Amino acid sequence: MKIRSTIPAVVAAALVLPACSGDSGPTAIEIPLARVEITGPCPTVDEGATCQMTARGITADNQIVTNAVLRWSSNANSIAQVNNDGRVFGLAPGTATITVEASFGEGEDTSRVTVFPCQKNCP
């Protein structure tokens, strides 16, 4: 009898194994994503302020991967920038589109962010 073990995608995405090549750091196992969804958008942010966006990845068999490796970008860095963790920085009044995409696999999602002029205690 052949015994086969499987690891659910959610667990496998977070699984860290020692590196075998002599490196001193751990190696993460990435699960290919079929799509990405923004779960916490930032529709507005004040100039000089920040807002945290959140997203999740979903595999081809519909398993949610909350700790997926994602890439964030802005189409208007002079208005709003976004870092690797999804934190949006409002830089100037206007509207920007924030995109998040899978680092491994496919899928992306977008959300518009409107930056309002700073009214009080501006930097």
Q: Chain-centre distance of CA 48, in angstroms?
A: 22
Please state, in angstroms and rounded to a whole number, the distance separating the CA atoms of residues 61 and 59.
5
Q: pTM of the prediction?
A: 0.74
Q: What is the per-residue pLDDT across 51-92, written as a single tens digit (0 to 9) for each?
A: 999 999 999 999 998 788 999 999 999 999 999 999 999 999
Sequence ranges of the domains in the chain? 34-116
Q: What is the per-residue pLDDT across 20-34, written as a single tens digit (0 to 9) for each?
A: 455 565 555 678 999
Fold that domain 34-116 belongs to in CATH: Immunoglobulin-like (2.60.40)
